Amino acid sequence: MKGGKRCLQCLRNMAKDKLVKSITSMDEDFAKWYTDVCIKSELIDYASVKGCMIIRPYGYAIWENIQREMDSRFKKTGHENVYMPLFIPESLLQKEKDHVEGFAPEVAWVTHGGEEKLEERMCVRPTSETLFCDHFKNIVHSYRDLPKLYNQWCNVVRWEKTTRPFLRSREFLWQEGHTLHATAEEAQAETIQMLNIYAEFAENVLAMPVVKGVKTAKERFAGAEDTYTIEALMHDGKALQSGTSHYFGDGFAKAFDIEFTDKNNNQVHPFQTSWGTTTRLIGALIMTHGDDSGLILPPAVAPIQAVLIPIASHKEGVLEKTSEVYEKIKNVCRVKMDASEQSPGWKFAEYEMKGVPLRIELGPKDIENNCCVVVRRDNGEKTVVSLDELVTKLPQLLKAVHDGLYEKALNRRETMTYDAHNLEEMKDIAENKPGFIRAMWCGDRECEDKLKEVAGVTSRCIPFEQEEIAETCVCCGKKAKNMLYWGKAY
């Protein structure tokens, strides 16, 4: 049996070596590593449409799990799903000046219907604020009609010049929430509530620690009074904006003539919010948890949470017992039984590359001892589990994988977060130490622009949890107003 184990390990190493060689090391070329993982793990394929991607079944299954988990949270807070048209008339888009200017460089236009030129150009939606406003104007008349708590799952188009799978493409999938409220206080509370839902989702579902805060005026969403964000840190030390929530005040309502009769019988404008996350969350998962062997998926969104692999399946009783175990555990996790003719070593490497959280090995010796071997993808830890206890043990192991991924990502973020007290420190850290930089800011746009120019960093957010690490602005030396997270970002 020892000789057999050595042989199996040799096969495993050979298969893994072959697959891993097709993935560039992240230390060698992080961008190439990322693209290799997207392709080799069968998440995407390139489309004949430049700047767009094909999301393959395995990648789309991850998005479906994200969608399901997030949608249930929206519904618990009273939100309803709707669907708006894909096209927006140019005259409608022009009603909110700041909003239009913010999106103008990325808008795709439809000018013809068939062979006939359209009387008015149609924008392919980059976002749907204007459509929702046009609809709200028709259905909101009294305070009794409020609040309106809507969400839309759809695709949008933004004509990006530089694209990368999941992170930036000309067409992508997302959800966009749009709500209307009788008072500013209600709308502001909604904005923070949704940001907190995003943060909870990122940490408890995606195992991804995030910093919550508000964007500077320079970085806020076009047309918003305030933009709130969750910021995550990737393996390479770059930040990724992973979800945003916007408070619009009554600016859109005034632009679109949305009015309602309040409790005092006065005609007033309502207050509005919007919030959204996209398929870039899949990119965030890859760059937060992945390694040189490929994906590592958090159990909550993994299409396959456990793969069951028979060892020496040609031997009597092995496949039958493996099928029996499959039937026993299929109701406690998303499990796949792989009884294909590929070698166990090849399967081990394949499912490691696809990021499956748990691998269950079952061979003749295991069957004889009424047990199996369960291997964690996040740390390679092996556990011998009695077949009688597998149903209760698997959920515990899946939770352990999630917790392990979160702690590892949190420790990495803490290790890669630095404090800068003056401009020279800021420049030195930005050049030599990838990660977040915490530094004080006076609040002036000029200093924000200068830090981007001389240090190559942008403001990520003004965190809710403030700490005074200096009395003066890191750039100009004047009295500071806030501590900010700065960094290079995707």
- Which among 284, 222, 467, 471 is positioned nearest to 485, based on CA atoms? 467
Range name among 12-26, 364-378, 442-456, 473-487 with the lowest pLDDT average: 12-26
Tell me if 1-23+294-395 shares its fold with 417-487: no
Given a cut of 50, is residue 235 above it in pLDDT?
yes
Range name among 18-22, 396-400, 435-439 with the lowest pLDDT average: 18-22
Maximum Cα–Cα distance across the chain: 87
**How far is residue 31 from each of residues 34, 38, 95, 219, 312, measured CA to CA in Å?**
5, 11, 40, 25, 39
Average confidence (pLDDT) over 84-96:
91
Give the pLDDT band of residue 1 (cuts 50, 70, 90): very low
Class of domain 1-23+294-395: alpha beta
Q: Which fold has domain 417-487?
A: Translation Initiation Factor IF3 (3.30.110)
DSSP 291: B
Give the pLDDT band of residue 482 (cuts 50, 70, 90): very high
Task: Quote the tokens at residue 374.
Answer: 């369960």
Classify each residue of 243-259 as buried b or exposed e, where b means 16 or more C-beta atoms within 10 Å of its C-beta.
bbbbbbbbbbbebbebb
* pLDDT on residue 217: 96
DSSP 164: B
Per-domain boundaries in the chain: 1-23+294-395, 44-289, 417-487
Q: What is the mean pLDDT of the chain?
A: 94
Give the pLDDT band of residue 98 (cuts 50, 70, 90): confident
Question: Options 3.40.50.1820, 3.10.300.10, 3.30.930.10, 3.30.830.10; which CATH number does 44-289 get?
Answer: 3.30.930.10
